[in-house]
């Protein structure tokens, strides 16, 4: 048997149906796919153009982040101490101060962060808050997708309109000149269709497009004019129907306290629906999610998970698919899925006061094969199995915090962090080798991100939001 690459000598955590863990294992790759998985001894006869010695390392499927936001990588923590100021900044930036160059720079930065942390596939909503999407023109999604392709990861880019009422004021930039204009639902929907036509399932399937419509909750029916609320309901169904017709994932950001009931009433649930956060759900909503096959993106490190609790344990007990998301790299998070696995375990164990809740293997499943199922991609990614795409991550266990070298899966989930990732393969191509990206110049990516962030801060006049707030150290921490 001839292979392009043979990765040999490491512990292979397959996440296959039998959940095999192969000590001194090997994985053979040809034409972007896995062609053999077994012990290194069993695959010793395979000839390969390149052999990668994984001794002292653990080989896992590429990690998957099922919920994040494009744009956040350049906003990060700006204004986070000012009440709602951080969300105000996101809204202003994503509609008024973010030309395509912003989205290109941010996407390269976020994709590079994901790559460095072993995240080979991630969902990225093209905007932030629960309604602000940059879908006034296809150029912004195009800039994001081009950047992800350069870095070499996979991205499911979620696009959709803002919540009614419309229109909403947007702006573009020509150099230092700002041009403002109003954007309605029809224009945003046309933009989304164009993005789907141009980008969905392109670049060997590494770019996928999902559709979204903002969540409708009790306060929207209560506070919106009746005609506006009715328009929002109609629009959500238009977007949902289009997603179904095109075979796309439909996603919504920010479900809680009764909103799942509304989604069911509007016909938005189903096996191709992915609902994020899902905090403080009622018992009947847990049942609705399980009965309809709807998927849940649980973000244990998000602010929403501080404000309420996602009943992930109860959802999974009911038979629902629950996967892990980072909620992106802001205001106080990162794209490190190891961090979010550890956070998830502590989050639910603390709630139940039971250290056996959410077993180690289960939480790893939630950002590998379970996450692939949530994205409708379990036939292609999420496990190390023959016939699947060769999305593989090597984690170096030869570190003090991962020693001694026994119980490798425990070491991986409980103690590793993204910086322990040494190499990453996506679709058979090494896109991170010995900690260095192969497709982009990391220093140039960082410099471009810094330049675009500075321009953005100047455009919205947010220099003061970079300063330490008066209560930064806390009352007890202040020196007299």
Tell me the average pLDDT across 215-231. Answer: 95
Inter-residue contact 220 to 260 (CB < 8 Å): no
Enter the pTM of the model: 0.97
Is residue 478 very low, low, confident or very high in pLDDT (cuts 50, 70, 90)? Answer: low
Is residue 82 very low, low, confident or very high in pLDDT (cuts 50, 70, 90)? Answer: confident
Cα distance between residue 93 and residue 8, in whole Å? 47
Q: What's the pLDDT at 1? A: 85
Is residue 477 very low, low, confident or very high in pLDDT (cuts 50, 70, 90)? Answer: low
pLDDT tens for 334-360 read: 999 999 999 999 999 999 999 999 999
pLDDT tens for 27-58 read: 999 999 999 999 999 999 999 999 999 999 99
Neighbours of 440 (CB within 10 A): 17
Q: Is residue 261 classed exposed, middle or buried when 0-12, 13-18 and 19+ CB atoms within 10 A define those classes?
A: middle
Q: What's the pLDDT at 205? A: 95
Give the residue among 254, 216, 213 at the shortest CA–CA distance from 235: 213
Domains of the chain: 2-61+382-435 (2.30.40.10), 66-374 (3.20.20.140)
Inter-residue contact 123 to 67 (CB < 8 Å): yes
Q: What's the pLDDT at 226? A: 94
Q: What's the pLDDT at 473? A: 87
Work out whether strand 132-133 and strand 127-128 pair parallel, antiparallel, or are unpaired.
Answer: antiparallel
307: phi then psi, degrees, rounded to nearest 5:
-75, -25
Cβ neighbours for 104, distance < 8 A, ≥ 6 positions apart: 143, 144, 146, 147
Cα distance between residue 460 and residue 89, in whole Å? 8
């Amino acid at each position: 048997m001839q292979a392009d690459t043979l990765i040999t000598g490491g512990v292979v955590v397959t996440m296959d149906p039998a959940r095999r863990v192969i000590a001194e294992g090997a994985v053979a790759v040809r034409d972007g796919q896995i062609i053999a998985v077994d012990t290194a001894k069993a695959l010793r006869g395979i000839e390969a153009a390149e052999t990668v010695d994984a001794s002292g390392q653990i080989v896992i499927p590429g990690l998957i982040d099922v919920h994040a936001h494009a744009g956040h990588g350049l906003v990060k923590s700006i204004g986070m101490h000012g009440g709602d100021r951080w969300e105000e900044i996101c809204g202003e930036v994503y509609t008024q101060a973010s030309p395509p160059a912003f989205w290109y720079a941010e996407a390269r930065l976020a994709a590079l962060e994901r790559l460095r942390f072993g995240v080979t596939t991630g969902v990225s909503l093209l905007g932030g808050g629960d309604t602000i999407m940059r879908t006034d023109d296809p150029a912004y999604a195009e800039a994001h997708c081009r950047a992800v392709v350069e870095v070499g990861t996979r991205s499911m880019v979620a696009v959709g309109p803002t919540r009614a009422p419309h229109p909403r004021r947007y702006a573009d930039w020509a150099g230092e000149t700002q041009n403002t204009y109003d954007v309605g639902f029809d224009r945003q929907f046309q933009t989304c269709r164009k993005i789907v036509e141009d980008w969905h399932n392109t670049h060997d399937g590494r770019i996928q497009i999902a559709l979204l419509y903002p969540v409708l909750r009790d306060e929207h029916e209560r506070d919106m004019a009746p005609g506006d609320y009715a328009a929002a309901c109609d629009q959500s169904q238009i977007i949902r129907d289009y997603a179904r017709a095109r075979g796309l994932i439909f996603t919504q950001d920010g479900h809680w306290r009764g909103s799942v009931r509304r989604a069911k009433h509007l016909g938005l649930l189903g096996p191709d629906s992915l609902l994020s956060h899902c905090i403080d759900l009622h018992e009947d909503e847990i049942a609705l999610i399980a009965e309809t096959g709807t998927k849940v993106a649980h973000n244990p490190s998000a602010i929403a998970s501080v404000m309420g609790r996602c009943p992930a344990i109860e959802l999974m007990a009911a038979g629902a698919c629950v996967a892990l998301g980072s909620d992106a790299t802001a205001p106080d998070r990162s794209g490190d899925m190891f961090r979010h696995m550890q956070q998830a375990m502590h989050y639910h164990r603390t709630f139940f006061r039971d250290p056996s809740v959410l077993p180690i293997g289960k939480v790893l499943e939630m950002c590998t094969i379970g996450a692939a199922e949530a994205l409708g991609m379990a036939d292609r990614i999420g496990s190390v199995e023959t016939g699947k795409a060769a999305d593989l991550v090597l984690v170096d266990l030869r570190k003090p915090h991962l020693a001694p070298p026994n119980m490798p899966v425990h070491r991986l989930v409980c103690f590793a962090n993204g910086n322990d990732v040494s190499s990453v393969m996506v679709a058979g191509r090494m896109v991170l080798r010995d900690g260095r990206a192969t497709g982009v110049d990391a220093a140039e990516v960082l410099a471009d991100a810094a330049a675009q962030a500075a321009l953005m801060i100047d455009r919205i006049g947010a220099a003061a939001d970079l300063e330490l707030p008066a209560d930064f150290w806390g009352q007890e921490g202040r020196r007299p």
